[in-house]
Amino acid sequence: MVDGHLVTAPKAPAGLYLVATPIGNLGDITLRALQTLAGVDVIACEDTRITRRLTERYGIAAELKPYHEHNAAIARPKILQRLAQGGSIALVSDAGTPLISDPGFKLVREACAAGHAVIALPGPSSVLTALSVAALPTDRFFFEGFLPPKETARRARLTELARIDATLVMFESGNRVQNTLRDLADLMGSREASICRELTKLHEEVRRATLTELARDAGALETRGEFVLVIGPPAADAQTMTADALDDLLRNTLAHHSVKDAVAHVVELSGRPRRTVYARALELAREVSAKEIIPKDGHGKD
């Protein structure tokens, strides 16, 4: 049912159909996706309640079966068996394009190995939507997915990502986004970035600024909803990093890493010679140690 008009969908030929569904606004579904969802034998979906909102909106009566990370080992053989019997099955995620930070990879691989037709229906993607509105370079980008939830692991991963010469795209949950922004600012400095919240939904919001500015204002950020973070690539003039910027980066990195690890990280980001960075790191580390042994009254220990 499209805009009050009843449309008859032909039965879909046998095969596994990877169908992109809206990331928020249900009007973003494609006509081809609607025709396929209405014509398959079964729709395999992460959460039947979420997919049912879409099928009911468009009057689609196909059978819904759950397929998610918790039941995949049991559900996958049944789907493959049905494909072997000539069935047509659509795979959808809760939102966006299947397999992008969603289950489905093993099913697609095994379906291909068994010789079944696998057909992709392009459509909504939060990754590409965020890239298109972030106002950052799009000629080369790296999609990270979700970062580790624990601070130590997250900072370690961000240290690795900081070395990639490309725009970075990552997902984050509302309860961690503020801490992640602070970690990003600590480890990547003042790169340009964009926070995309609730894309295509009623309360869509896009903030564009430097990571330093976004981290500074993180406390006032509305944390309800789904977030996509887009971080611009390292500056082309990274090798001319100012002395003040170098000190700021070293101080932030030394707060969480040994001198050896901090130096290796900062050399990568700054382009400065290792000897120069190492010497300055030792100076800053000594300054910190000196402050820690001076009492509040300003007098040193006897």
Nearest to 199 by CA among 166, 232, 230: 230
Let me know whether 162 and 110 are in one domain: no
Let me know whether 150 and 96 are in one domain: no
Is 25 within the bounds of a domain? yes
Let me know whether 64 and 143 are in one domain: no
SS3 per-residue string spanning the chain: CECCECCCCCCCCCEEEEECECCCCHHHCCHHHHHHHHHCCEEEECCHHHHHHHHHHCCCCCEEEECCCCCHHHHHHHHHHHHHCCCEEEEECCCECCCCCCCCHHHHHHHHHCCCCEEEECCCCHHHHHHHHCCCCCCCEEEEEECCCCHHHHHHHHHHHCCCCCEEEEEEECCCHHHHHHHHHHHHCCCEEEEEECCCCCCCEEEEEEHHHHHHCHHHCCCCCEEEEEECCCCCCHHHCCHHHHHHHHHHHHCCCCHHHHHHHHHHHHCCCHHHHHHHHHHHHHHHHHHHCCCCCCCCCC
Is 271 within the bounds of a domain? yes
Let me know whether 107 and 134 are in one domain: no
CATH number at residue 58: 3.40.1010.10
Let me know whether 143 and 219 are in one domain: yes
Let me know whether 50 and 68 are in one domain: yes
Let me know whether 277 and 185 are in one domain: no
Let me know whether 21 and 108 are in one domain: yes
- Contact of 44 with 75, CB cutoff 8 Å: yes
Is 183 within the bounds of a domain? yes
Q: Could you list the residue range(s) of the whole structural domain that residue 183 is in?
A: 127-231
pLDDT tens for the chain, residues 1 to 302: 888 888 889 999 999 999 999 999 999 999 999 999 999 999 999 999 999 999 999 999 999 999 999 999 999 999 999 999 999 999 999 999 999 877 899 999 999 999 999 999 999 999 999 999 999 999 999 999 999 999 989 988 998 898 899 999 999 999 999 999 999 998 888 899 999 999 999 999 999 999 999 999 999 999 999 999 999 998 765 545 667 778 888 888 888 888 998 888 888 777 677 888 899 999 988 887 766 655 555 444 43
- What b/e readout covers 7-29, taking b as 16+ CB neighbours within 10 angstroms? eeeeebebbbbbbbbbbbeeeeb
Classify residue 49 by burial, with Cβ atoms within 10 Å: 0-12, 13-18, 19+. exposed
Let me know whether 52 and 75 are in one domain: yes
**Number of domains composing the chain:** 3
Is 88 within the bounds of a domain? yes
CATH number at residue 207: 3.30.950.10
> Model-level pTM?
0.78
pLDDT value, residue 302: 37
Cα distances from 168 to residues 76, 92, 147, 203, in angstroms, run 33, 25, 12, 24
**What sign has the CA pseudo-torsion 167, 143, 215, 256?**
negative
pLDDT value, residue 297: 52
Cα distances from 178 to residues 123, 186, 198, in angstroms, run 30, 13, 16
Let me know whether 218 and 276 are in one domain: no
pLDDT value, residue 174: 94
pLDDT value, residue 266: 84
User: Of 198, 231, 264, at which residue does a domain stop?
Assistant: 231
pLDDT value, residue 105: 93
Is 8 within the bounds of a domain? no
pLDDT value, residue 239: 47
- Contact of 271 with 205, CB cutoff 8 Å: no
CB atoms within 10 A of CB 239: 9
pLDDT value, residue 145: 94
